[in-house]
Amino acid sequence: MNDNDPNHDGERGPAHAVAVHSQQPAQSGQPARPEPAQSGQPARPEPANPAAEPTSVPTAPRLTSLAGSIQSRLRQPGMRQTLPKIGFVLALLVVGGLLVWLLTSLLATATMQSANRPAAAADPTAAAPPAPAASPRPSLPLASVSPLDFRVGDCFKDFDPEAAKSTVVACTTDHSAQLVAVTQYADGDAYPGREAMKTKARETCQTAALTEKSNAYNLNYRLAYPSTSSWAKGDRRVDCYVTASGNIIKASLLP
């Protein structure tokens, strides 16, 4: 397809082990010697270690006294007030522990379920959006239509890109051009210049998806973009047409 540009105006970090030696005091004088045994009676050895003698067990009166002391402490007013507080704190700790355990269990279960859940299958209907289709007109043919009122898909009889008005006809009838893509600049944009708009117009033509019917015709691209004067009047459209010599196209070339 040919790319013709008519250049018309009006149309994007080691612990030390310390050996602890038991230091027994050196006994002064000579070593102890055993006492001679008394005549007539055999010698009786002294206990080697007095500390090895059995320890006396507390007697019943002592236990009774200990129990009484505990009961006496429990009867004190301060202790009576402290015990309920301790119980309340313990209860709170138990309840808090249960809540933490419950939340941890729930989170672990949810994580396992999420890990074991298969990935969602791709939706075959979520495809790329279709190319713009022809915009219906209330009735055709429609004469004297301004270029700023052209719609993607419009077909034109005897198309003249420099004309101020054109006639829109049904694409099933003989026509010489069709508007196949449009890019719109924002209203607040500054005028980009003629060459920038020409590049944008060519990019716009590349987005147009034509059907196989276009192979039946010798078509040219025709670009249209604003001039400085039409930009000042609010014209922000960049248009791409396909054209053919004579009114020989007899179908819409868009899907």
Give the dihedral sign, CA 202/208/209/213.
negative
Helix/strand number for the chain, H first, E second: 4, 7
Amino acid 8: pLDDT: 45
pLDDT band for 120, please (50, 70, 90 cuts): very low
| pLDDT (0 to 100) of residue 6 | 46
What whole-number percentage of the chain has pLDDT above 90? Answer: 45
Which has more pLDDT, 24 or 66?
A: 66
Q: Edge-to-edge strands of the sheet including 142-145?
A: 2-4, 220-224, 237-243, 177-184, 155-157, 166-169, 142-145
Give the pLDDT band (50/70/90) at residue 166.
Answer: very high
Write out the H or E segment, with its range, that includes residue 201.
helix 194-206
Mean pLDDT is highest, among 66-70, 96-100, 128-132, for 96-100
Mean pLDDT score of the chain: 74
Nearest alpha carbon to residue 200 among 186, 219, 215: 186
Closest Cα to residue 5, out of 212, 174, 198, 236?
Answer: 198
Separation of alpha carbons 149 and 254, rounded Å: 19
Residues 81-97: pLDDT tens digits? 666 777 777 887 888 78
- pLDDT(24) > 50: no
* pLDDT surpasses 50 at 25: no
